[in-house]
């Protein structure tokens, strides 16, 4: 292994930059040449890459987003796109690839490895925390704290004006962000894709709460479970009470990575380089039970089961 390339693909996640920094500086310390690929698979298809040195990654450790840019790349699904990406790899004498991204990126990397035998190591980075076999991905902690900060602020106005808020958070098909911030934010209810929605129960609780003087509510909904506006409208129809909605959206993807996101990124970046040097391939790295784990891509891209019961019960008990 003489030369490796690193890229970020799919939705950006806070912590991608420290992961790049780690791959570059650790790679160089191991006498590797490191190339940076721009805009993920798109950059391989279009030969947009350049050598990176220690200075190329100066000052990025605390920056959100990714200096390598990222993109969703439908062209890579086609045989022609994959072939062109392979040609870029060969032309530039790249021996291994570090793919920083989520399960969509890993599905693509798995395909690429199977077809062209180019060693790919994934570094799990996604705010959704939906990579199977991995407890924590880079960016999750930051996104949760961003969403929590917003919910704390919404709480101030909800309490002051005695209102019901429905707050929509990201997470694609996963309710992880929603469940975590609902508990941490003392929210009254949470609606997630992993659990059947019970509007009757939610509305009954609100009406009953009002009778005993509980006038403000924050209900968190994961984007994969529906739209905040629809839920708010149903609550108003069923209870006669006024509601407000907030869709947190892409704000959850930005901002300075927290210490947890940075440390994870720095450790996983190094571990990815070690894996390539050791001749490993076709696997993603993440954090499980406090340790860095290697999960083969095939497992990583399977649907992750979210254990909801304890969280959900606690949210309801503590309301």
Residues in touch with ligand F6P (CB under 6 A): 11, 72, 102, 126-128, 170-172, 223, 253
Q: Which is nearer to ligand F6P, 17 or 126 (CB)?
A: 126
Q: Compute how many other C-beta atoms are within 10 angstroms of the C-beta atom of residue 149.
A: 14
> Shortest Cβ distance from residue 172 to ligand F6P (Å)?
4
Least distance from C-beta 2 to ligand F6P, angstroms? 33
Least separation in angstroms between residue 208's CB and ligand F6P is: 33
- 141 carries an active-site annotation: no
CB closer to ligand F6P, 35 vs 170: 170
Q: Which CB sits closer to ligand F6P, 13 or 121?
A: 13
* Beta strand pairing call for 49-52 and 33-37: antiparallel
Q: Please say which residue, 43 or 102, places its beta carbon nearer to ligand F6P.
A: 102
3-state secondary structure at position 164: strand
Please identify, using beta-carbon distances, which residue of 6 and 248 lies nearer to ligand F6P: 248
Which one of 12, 128, 189, 205 is the catalytic residue?
128
Angle between helices 199-211 and 228-239 (to 10 degrees): 50
CB of 102 to ligand F6P, least distance (A): 6
Radius of gyration (C-alpha) of the chain in whole angstroms? 22
Specify the 3-state DSSP secondary structure of 220.
Answer: strand
Nearer to ligand F6P, 170 or 182 (CB): 170
Q: Where are the alpha helices (DSSP H) in the chain?
A: 16-29, 41-45, 79-91, 103-116, 140-161, 176-184, 199-211, 228-239, 259-277, 297-300, 309-318
User: What's the min distance (Å) between Cβ of 292 and ligand F6P?
Assistant: 22
* CA separation for the pair 295, 106 (Å, rounded): 11
Q: What is the 3-state secondary structure (H, E, C) of 272-299?
A: HHHHHHCCCCCEEEEEECCEEEEEEHHH
Q: Name which of 117, 136, 112, 109 is nearest 125 in CA terms.
A: 136
Q: Which helix (H) or strand (E) holds 7?
A: strand 3-8
In 68-139, which ranges are continuous DSSP H helix?
79-91, 103-116
Give the torsion sign (CA, 294, 138, 282, 25): negative
| Smallest separation (angstroms) from ligand F6P to the CB of 319 | 26
Rounded Cα distance, 240 and 229, in Å: 15
Beta sheet of 164-169, edge-to-edge order: 189-191, 217-222, 164-169, 243-247
Residues recognised as catalytic:
128
């Amino acid at each position: 292994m003489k030369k490796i390339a690193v890229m970020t693909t799919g939705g950006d996640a806070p912590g991608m930059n420290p992961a790049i920094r780690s791959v570059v500086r650790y790679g160089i310390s191991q006498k590797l040449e490191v190339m940076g690929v721009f805009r993920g698979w798109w950059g391989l298809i279009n030969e947009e890459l350049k050598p990176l040195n220690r200075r190329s990654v100066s000052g990025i450790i605390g920056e959100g987003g990714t200096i390598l840019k990222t993109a969703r790349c439908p062209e890579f699904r086609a045989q022609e796109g994959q072939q062109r990406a392979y040609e870029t790899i060969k032309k530039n004498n790249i021996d291994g690839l570090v793919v920083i991204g989520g399960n969509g990126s890993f599905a693509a990397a798995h395909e690429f490895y199977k077809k062209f035998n180019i060693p790919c190591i994934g570094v799990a980075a996604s705010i959704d925390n939906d990579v199977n076999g991995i407890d924590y991905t880079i960016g999750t902690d930051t996104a949760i704290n961003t969403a929590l900060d917003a919910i704390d602020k919404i709480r101030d106005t909800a309490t002051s004006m005695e209102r019901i808020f429905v707050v929509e958070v990201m997470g694609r098909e996963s309710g992880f962000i929603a469940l975590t911030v609902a508990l941490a934010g003392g929210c009254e209810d949470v609606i997630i894709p992993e659990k059947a929605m019970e509007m009757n129960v939610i509305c009954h609780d609100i009406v009953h709460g009002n009778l005993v003087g509980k006038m403000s509510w924050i209900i968190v909904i994961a984007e994969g479970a529906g739209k905040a506006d629809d839920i708010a409208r149903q609550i108003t129809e069923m209870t006669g009470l006024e509601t407000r909605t907030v869709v947190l959206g892409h704000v959850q993807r930005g901002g300075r990575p927290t210490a947890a996101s940075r440390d994870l990124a720095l450790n996983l970046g190094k571990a990815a380089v070690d894996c390539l040097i050791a001749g490993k391939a076709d696997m993603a790295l993440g954090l499980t039970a406090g340790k860095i784990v290697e999960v083969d891509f095939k497992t990583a891209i399977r649907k992750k089961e979210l254990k909801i019961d304890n969280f959900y019960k606690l949210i309801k008990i503590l309301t």
